[in-house]
Amino acid sequence: MVDVTDLETNPPAAARLSRPDAIRSYVAIGDSITEGMEDDSGPGGEYRGFADRLAEHLGTVSPDFRYANLGVRGRRMRHIFGEQLAQTLEWKPDLVTVLAGGNDVLRPGNDLDRLAEQFEWGIRQLRDAGIRVVILSGHDTGWIPVLRYYRGRIAVFSMHMRAVAERTGTEIVDLWALNALTDPRAWSEDRLHLNGAGHQIVAARIADLLGFPMGPPESWTDPWTTPPQQLPRILRRRENRRWARQYLVPWLRRRAMGRSSGDGRMPKRPRLDYLHDEATRAEIARSIEEGGVREPAYNGFDPAEGAPTSSPSGTKGPEPVD
């Protein structure tokens, strides 16, 4: 079997000659990662995330850009392809990103084939409405204690996602192929959510796929110039015990009680509205007319201190944590 990298299935924007279609409206649907959990770089420490970062970037090339984020932590497939999908279809935006299924896959009793059927139904609803869709597949959890036992289920469902993308003609960003995401520096302390660096990697990959790159491909293939720090085994075990007490046990307890951290929570951007105020929109329009649009490479985040080392699918991540 020949390995196929994300670079090969979704070539960088620089390799595409056609002018990208204008994106004037964007809706993000999904769960906690779409909500932006653990990327607290927003105003006043609010969660930002890959979707906000992508919207901020797209907003620099379209003065009347509108954005909504319906992602809420803990949401499952029935929510994402329920109320979130219904609202999105009503708006009919130019672009929708879909990150769905993670909270379902982590429940061992759920049938992955049935989940895949639900996933394909939802994607077809969006595609039949003429909406450009980008699917985000599952990431590799092989390096994370406990979560590595779900690795096989995540891989199977990710392959289902790739099959759905193929059958429906939908673009997909394969998070499993982003080797930078197997680096602990891309993850928050809870090991369940991306941190600011990880969210930026995902946003840059999507932007490149859309034809509006934030910077060079190295911003998402090789964001660091040094390998991750490896703690001695005794310190890793001590850290793993602390992590289990602080994060894993509460997570398992909520699951056992049928509760979610998102119960009663509303989306942070529930309306498809202008990203910028009227004055800023006018300023962006003038800049575009004058040919002075400045695309902020890395969207304000530069994880590398020197020239990155390029490779076909990114740098190799660390060995699994004990």
pLDDT at residue 77 in the model? 95
Could you give the strand order of the β-sheet that contains 269-274, starting from the edge strand earlier in sequence?
A: 171-173, 132-136, 95-99, 25-30, 66-69, 269-274
The dihedral over CA atoms of 209, 215, 221, 224, expressed in degrees to the nearest 10, equals -160
Q: Taking 90 as the threshold, does the pLDDT of residue 27 lie above it?
A: yes
Extract the runs of DSSP E, i.e. beta strands, from 72-199: 95-99, 132-136, 171-173
**Top-confidence range, 36-50, 137-151, 300-314:** 36-50
Instruction: Name the residue with tokens 């105020």.
Output: 277
**Which two tokens mark 1?**
């079997």
Give residue-wise pLDDT tens across range 280-303.
999 988 888 887 554 444 444 444
Query: In the structure, what pLDDT confidence band is assigned to residue 237 with cuts at 50, 70 and 90?
Result: confident
Contact 155, 120 (CB under 8 A): no
The alpha carbons of the chain give a radius of gyration, in whole angstroms, of: 19
Mean pLDDT, the chain, whole residue set: 83
Q: How many whole angstroms separate alpha carbon 54 and alpha carbon 47?
A: 14
Return the higher-pLDDT residue of 162 and 262. 162
How far apart CA 287 and CA 266 sit, in angstroms, is 35
Residue 50, H or E segment: helix 49-58
The region of weakest confidence among 131-140, 148-157, 253-262 is: 253-262
* Nearest C-alpha neighbor of 257 from the set 74, 97, 26, 19: 74
Give the pLDDT of residue 225.
82
Q: Which residue type sits at 106?
A: L
Is 0.75 surpassed by the pTM of this model?
yes
Weakest mean pLDDT among 19-28, 149-158, 159-168, 209-218: 19-28
User: In the chain, what are the domains?
Assistant: 6-227+262-298 (3.40.50.1110)
Q: What is the phi/psi pair of residue 187, to 5°?
A: -120, 150
Measure Cα distances from 48 to 37, 38, 40, 166, 247 in Å. Answer: 7, 8, 6, 30, 21
**Residue 114 neighbours by CB under 8 Å, 6+ apart:** none
